[in-house]
Chain A
Amino acid sequence: METATVGSEVPRTDGMAKVKGLAVYGDDIVMKDMLYGVCRYADIAAGRIDTLDLSEAEKVPGVVRIATWQDIPGEKQIGVVIPDYPPIVDREIAFRGDVVAVVAAESYEAACLAAEKIKISYTPWTPITSVQEAISPGARLIHSDRDNNIINHHHTVKGDIEAGFAASTHIFEREYSVGFQEHAYIEPESITTCYDDNEQIMTVYGSIQNAHRVRGFVAKYLGLPQSKVNVRRSILGGSFGGKDDIIDHLACRSALMTWLTSRPVKMTYNREQSMRESYKRHPYIMKYKIGLDDEARIQAMKIDVLADGGSYAGQTVFVTWRSSVQAAGPYNIPNVRVDVTGVYTNNNYTSAYRGFGAPQVIFANESLIDEVADALGLSPVELRRRNALRQGDTSMAGQVFTEHTVSALEVLEKATSSAEFEEKRQYYARLNAQGGPLRYGIGLALSHRGCSLGAEGLDASSALIQINADASVNISTSVSENGQGLQTTMSMIAAEAFGIGLENVMFSEPDTAMIADGGSTVASRGTLMGGQAILSAANKLKRRMAQAISEKLAVENEEDLVWENGKVFNRRHPYNRLSFQEVANMTRATGANLSAYGWHVAPSIHWDEEKGTGSPYFTWVYGCQIADIIVDTRTGKISINHATAAHDVGKVINKVGFEGQVSGGIAQGMVGYGMLEEFNIEHGEVKSENFDTYLLPTIKDIPPITIIPVENHDKAGPFGAKVLGEPVLELGAAALNNAVSFAMGKRNYALPLTLEQVKLGHPLKKPVRQSELLAESAEKKQVLRLNTLALTRARSLEEALFLLREDPQRRVIAGGTDVLVQARLNVAPVPLVDISGIKALKTITSQPDGNIRIGSGVCFSDLTSHELIAPHYPLLVTACNTIGSLQLRNRATVGGNIVNAAPCADSVPPLIIYDAQVELQRHGAAPRSMPLSDFITGGYKTQLEPGELLTAILLPPPQRHPGLQQRYLQLGRRNALNITRQSFTGQFVVNESGLLTFCRIVDGALFSHPQRLIALEKCLTGRQLNAALIQEGATLLKQMLEEAIGKRWSAPYKVPAGVEMFTQLLEEVLANKSR
């Protein structure tokens, strides 16, 4: 179909407000007389509340109301499928994110303080944190009112599974596992509720993915009719399926506080609250069994999945259903049996997340297919080619694929030929056969995905269009803008339908009071279902307009009308044209209604839950992604060099939006889910509470991507378009795993592919006892924030020294990048002296004695670019440029880095190598100085005395040995924003006869604090640098490490990786000796 607007590249219609900083997100709302709401969370992950004492909390000035279970006027438990979630709990605690009470106060700080003063005593239970434990006989019930810990079970049956295995000559059984994934929308949750001044009905604003769902739950919770609750979404700062259930619960709490106080209430989470309470992607344990015949045709596939649903059911029932009908992949398999069981535990509950039960099973299935291909001596492409679904085949779930174009082979061929998959694979195999620490890999994954909701329930959507007197057009849909570009897409579809310019169409976000529930903006259904609803309304209007102009244009058949370029004409008489404005005027003159309501119901589908067979989705998409990578076997670090993504989307509506979705999907799926994102929860206690421990991909972690759109027109979608958002995320991790497994020559069965997972084949986690966690949580604030600072600003060095002497408890703040992060955790007062305004501490000068004097208040970006430093101290520059991010280096000071004395402090190793001295001053006393290597005495320990300030770092002139090699090797999990896992900083001279005449080596984050490894230096210095000497050094280092850190939990990784990094360092010195 020829299209004018659809398929082009247009700027986002809602973009300008966002780039101007004017778009109003949830937390940007401020209302007159507004209160601030804060949740009081449970202190334990499992147990029963014995007593709840609000008395101290109620005394906090500014507290207006504290609500508990008793205060809820309506239904006390809600849920998308099973109503088991109490937005405020009664007595039972099922996870650490349970809310016991909600405080509303005049200020945020008062609400936080009060939350901390609510005293709760518990009878704690040992949290159940594994699905196997939860389903074992006699396991404690997570919810005492249920019979067992099973949330649900789905099965899919095709053919005769036993006969299938009997007919197979090759049978493989493997087990795969994946952990949680956090949505990590950059905007934390926010809800504001009020009584609308004019209508006096409960009105809910905020970061809401599904407005009608929120309305339904708030109405139930307060016992109100839905007509008395109106939801007005704010601009949404990312969701990815994540601002669904949790926002329902938060909206209920906030609305309750408004109900109880008759005042507007705002509740905004910080990142820690968000990570602690929000649901995640389900961890799966997946047992796969596959049988093939001698022609490598799959005869049978048996799959058993246990899904960790966590503390509440959330959307586990739907998520696991999608898994159950897709788990065997886009292959023609005569005999299939899939069983998926959702299980309650005391972990964070799990629910919708972009991909919705697909990324887990695609990882397992596609990893297995790759391994089987290998075992049968076939290329991964060939095995898939033999088995992929073709037009008219019957899918694993029993659906005959005749109603859409089955393009599994097409995406496979397009992706593999673009990536030169087979050629590269052979080339990499030859490279890898030569040995060496770097191994090359290329891997692919192929997937199919059912579009929209499928047999989850009614699948229908709504839209409103009105044509104004000036022929401009307003549109609204019930599916909503979540940042994905829906407003633009809907506007383009409307513009295309009327043949007018995009600038004539305006999308407005409708309140729930203004439009019927058209289902959630989930399941990648926005374009497909919302677009069809827009077309439904547009077609009604076009029919009315056609009638009005039929005489003028001599229209016999409406189909003959052409709507393009703002004109309407009869293709049989193309010279007689009316402008869209004229058409609108003529229609209005007839008395016809120029506004219309669109309603689209998806084509019918059916699923027999009892038999486990049917047609789960009305249409399907296909995708193939390829990862081209290098693995450094010394450290397990993966570098993704290139990614390829071929996706059949039916029709690309907006090219910019299409590419943005693919690129974002690869970042979240291949890079994030595949190798970086590890949500760490121990005994139910969330350990990854913020982005310093839950690592998202940075700009430096994303490979170049070749994006290949495949367009097979689909009769079920607007202009042939299908879906995109989830398909682009769900298969990247599988492709990456296949690439890594190929590179390592060793299969991997778990995600994410962290350094440890790749190097050791299993993850490494710090073991924590539950008792330690309890002790820790008792000292923790309810809301991490700055509230205990007492700041004094020093205008001069003299004043700063005086202030420090006056009260030796005072700590120093300069850049603040460590102090403020730590102070958020502090319960006790933090008296601070601010030295950031003291110019004398911010200079770098050359001293008469040849030393360089660096003021302790110099920030890293000034340090590394300074003319006295940059050309002369390359190790210092290189190491300091790896600290945090540019924003942090623009504030963080070299003095602060030293005094903080973290084992991973990046400036310290090079400063030690350059023989830096530190200058310490105290009020009324002579300055003292000492070598930096003496100053730092251990992890976070220095010789700084109370009242003393580190004022400068003195650097001797750089070493001028001829042939000096200066090397820095650093390992971080990401390519930016790292906390250094370990590093080596070294200086070496190899003379003409190959003797290592000068050698200094300083470690970072290996031993307790960075230090010159004197024993190692002695062993190496003065000797012939060759492989044997490097080996000798490595053996010595290994001994040293085993002695120092061998008993630590991290030793199984740190020791070998440290030794191999050292080897690499020396090998590089050896290789460069002649230069």
Chain B
Amino acid sequence: MHRIELKVNGIHVHHDVGDNQRLIDFLRDDLRLTGTKEGCSVGECGACTVIVDGKAVCSCLLLAAQCDGAEIVTVEALRHDKVGQRLQAAFVRHGGVQCGFCTPGVLMSAKALLDSTPQPTDAQINDALEGNLCRCTGYAPIIKSIKAVLKPA
């Protein structure tokens, strides 16, 4: 057991976590933040993407114990911030979401990008989303959704 102290979606959390517990297990099982999804467990699909200290990472490849002191943002927090709300609305309007299982991860990658680069180029959008597999949309509607929240150039 490891005692960790961290901030999840702006809230301070103290918790004991096991040696084998990954960040995704901690979020889904202990905090019941089930918006974050598990698709492959090996960092290939990106459905479990969350933001740790400002960076998009796969929560399946990070032990909860390694997150002591970290600041973590999950999809559940998106509705509390402007960029998040605009992304949510755009994904619904422009077809960026279909089955929705990859969507939390896609949204977190998009948010991490827009937080650091408010006006990304097409190439930067592709770079930010290269680790998020989507089987439904063929990606074009996702790109369209992200572009819809950018200010017109």
Q: Is A817 located at the chain interface by the 8 A CB criterion?
A: yes
Bound CA–CA A24/B28 (angstroms): 12
* Nearest 7 Cβ contacts at the A-B interface: A21-B35, A885-B131, A483-B99, A237-B101, A18-B100, A15-B92, A663-B138
Q: Is A246 located at the chain interface by the 8 A CB criterion?
A: no
Q: Is B63 located at the chain interface by the 8 A CB criterion?
A: yes
Q: Is A664 located at the chain interface by the 8 A CB criterion?
A: yes
Most central of B104, B132, B133 by chain A CB within 10 Å: B133
Minimum Cβ distance to chain A for residue B136 (Å):
5
The residues in A between 213 and 243 inclusive whose CB is less than 8 angstroms from any CB of B are: 235-240
Q: Is A976 located at the chain interface by the 8 A CB criterion?
A: yes
Minimum Cβ distance to chain B for residue A887 (Å):
4
The residues in A between 225 and 272 inclusive whose CB is less than 8 angstroms from any CB of B are: 235-240, 270-271
The residues in A between 701 and 744 inclusive whose CB is less than 8 angstroms from any CB of B are: 702, 704-705
- Whether B43 pairs with A886 at a CB distance below 8 angstroms is no
> Please, which residues of chain A bring their CB within 8 A of the CB of B63?
789, 791, 813, 816, 820, 834
- Whether A666 pairs with B138 at a CB distance below 8 angstroms is yes
- Whether B138 pairs with A836 at a CB distance below 8 angstroms is no
Q: Is B16 located at the chain interface by the 8 A CB criterion?
A: no
Known: A698-B130, A821-B43, A888-B131. A816 touches B140 (CB 8 A): no
Q: 21 pairs across A/B with beta carbons < 8 Å?
A: A12-B95, A15-B97, A19-B91, A28-B28, A185-B101, A238-B98, A271-B40, A660-B95, A660-B138, A690-B42, A700-B126, A787-B20, A788-B20, A816-B62, A817-B58, A834-B65, A887-B49, A887-B131, A888-B43, A890-B52, A890-B56
- Whether A19 pairs with B107 at a CB distance below 8 angstroms is yes
Beyond contacts A19-B97, A890-B52: 14 other A-B pairs, Cβ-Cβ < 8 A, are A20-B35, A188-B39, A238-B136, A483-B99, A485-B98, A660-B98, A691-B133, A692-B42, A784-B41, A785-B20, A785-B41, A861-B55, A887-B43, A888-B131
Q: Is A884 located at the chain interface by the 8 A CB criterion?
A: yes
Most central of B37, B75, B98 by chain A CB within 10 Å: B98
> Please, which residues of chain B bring their CB within 8 A of the CB of A790?
19
The residues in B between 34 and 58 inclusive whose CB is less than 8 angstroms from any CB of A are: 34-47, 49, 52, 55-58
Which chain A residue lies CB-closest to B144? A659
Q: Size band of the A side of the interface? A: 35 or more
Q: Is A1 located at the chain interface by the 8 A CB criterion?
A: no
Which chain B residue lies CB-closest to A814? B66
- The chain B residues found within 8 Å of chain A, CB to CB, are 2, 19-20, 22, 28, 32-47, 49, 52, 55-58, 60-63, 65-66, 68-69, 74-76, 78-79, 87-89, 91-95, 97-104, 107, 109, 126-143
- Whether B76 pairs with A891 at a CB distance below 8 angstroms is no
- Whether A21 pairs with B97 at a CB distance below 8 angstroms is no
- Whether A699 pairs with B88 at a CB distance below 8 angstroms is no
Bound CA–CA A638/B27 (angstroms): 40
- Whether B92 pairs with A16 at a CB distance below 8 angstroms is yes
| Tally of A-B Cβ pairs under 8 angstroms | 258
- Whether B99 pairs with A236 at a CB distance below 8 angstroms is yes
- Whether B135 pairs with A186 at a CB distance below 8 angstroms is yes
> Please, which residues of chain A bring their CB within 8 A of the CB of B142?
699
> Please, which residues of chain B bring their CB within 8 A of the CB of A21?
33-36, 74-76, 78, 104
Bound CA–CA A817/B40 (angstroms): 13
Q: Which residue in B20, B62, B97, B140 is a CB contact (below 8 Å) of A702?
A: B140
- Whether A237 pairs with B55 at a CB distance below 8 angstroms is no
Most central of A665, A696, A885 by chain B CB within 10 Å: A885
- Whether B97 pairs with A698 at a CB distance below 8 angstroms is no
- Whether A886 pairs with B92 at a CB distance below 8 angstroms is no
Bound CA–CA A18/B95 (angstroms): 12
> Please, which residues of chain B bring their CB within 8 A of the CB of A884?
43, 131
- Whether A886 pairs with B138 at a CB distance below 8 angstroms is no
Known: A185-B99, A668-B135. A793 touches B45 (CB 8 A): no
Known: A699-B143, A886-B128, A976-B131. A657 touches B95 (CB 8 A): yes
Minimum Cβ distance to chain A for residue B125 (Å):
8
Minimum Cβ distance to chain A for residue B132 (Å):
7
Which chain B residue lies CB-closest to A662? B138
Bound CA–CA A816/B62 (angstroms): 6
Which chain A residue lies CB-closest to B53? A890
- Whether B46 pairs with A15 at a CB distance below 8 angstroms is no
Q: Which residue in A22, A27, A886 is a CB contact (below 8 Å) of B38?
A: A27
Bound CA–CA A403/B130 (angstroms): 46
> Please, which residues of chain A bring their CB within 8 A of the CB of B135?
183-186, 238, 240, 664, 667-668, 696
Minimum Cβ distance to chain B for residue A136 (Å):
37
- Whether A16 pairs with B88 at a CB distance below 8 angstroms is yes
Which chain B residue lies CB-closest to A819? B61
Q: Is A484 located at the chain interface by the 8 A CB criterion?
A: yes
Bound CA–CA A483/B98 (angstroms): 5
- 1/0 per residue, CB under 8 A from B, across A885-902: the answer is 111101100000000000
Known: A659-B141, A660-B136, A702-B138. A891 touches B40 (CB 8 A): no
- Whether A19 pairs with B20 at a CB distance below 8 angstroms is no
Which chain B residue lies CB-closest to A695? B44
- Whether A887 pairs with B109 at a CB distance below 8 angstroms is yes
Most central of B42, B68, B128 by chain A CB within 10 Å: B42
Known: A25-B37, A699-B126. A821 touches B141 (CB 8 A): no
Q: Is A187 located at the chain interface by the 8 A CB criterion?
A: yes
Bound CA–CA A665/B37 (angstroms): 23
The residues in A between 1009 and 1027 inclusive whose CB is less than 8 angstroms from any CB of B are: none
Q: Which residue in A18, A186, A657, A887 is a CB contact (below 8 Å) of B134?
A: A186
Minimum Cβ distance to chain B for residue A656 (Å):
4
Known: A27-B38, A884-B131, A977-B130. A690 touches B100 (CB 8 A): no
> Please, which residues of chain B bring their CB within 8 A of the CB of A885?
43, 46, 130-132
Which chain B residue lies CB-closest to A188? B39
Most central of A19, A664, A836 by chain B CB within 10 Å: A19
Q: Is A837 located at the chain interface by the 8 A CB criterion?
A: yes
Bound CA–CA A235/B101 (angstroms): 9
- Whether A886 pairs with B56 at a CB distance below 8 angstroms is yes
Which chain A residue lies CB-closest to B92? A15
Q: Which residue in A235, A691, A699 is a CB contact (below 8 Å) of B129?
A: A699
> Please, which residues of chain B bring their CB within 8 A of the CB of A964?
none
Bound CA–CA A873/B143 (angstroms): 31
Bound CA–CA A485/B93 (angstroms): 12
Minimum Cβ distance to chain B for residue A191 (Å):
16
> Please, which residues of chain B bring their CB within 8 A of the CB of A270?
38, 41
The residues in A between 766 and 793 inclusive whose CB is less than 8 angstroms from any CB of B are: 784-791, 793
Q: Which residue in A186, A663, A787, A791 is a CB contact (below 8 Å) of B39?
A: A186
Q: Is A23 located at the chain interface by the 8 A CB criterion?
A: yes
- Whether A890 pairs with B99 at a CB distance below 8 angstroms is no
- Whether A664 pairs with B42 at a CB distance below 8 angstroms is no
Bound CA–CA A550/B104 (angstroms): 51
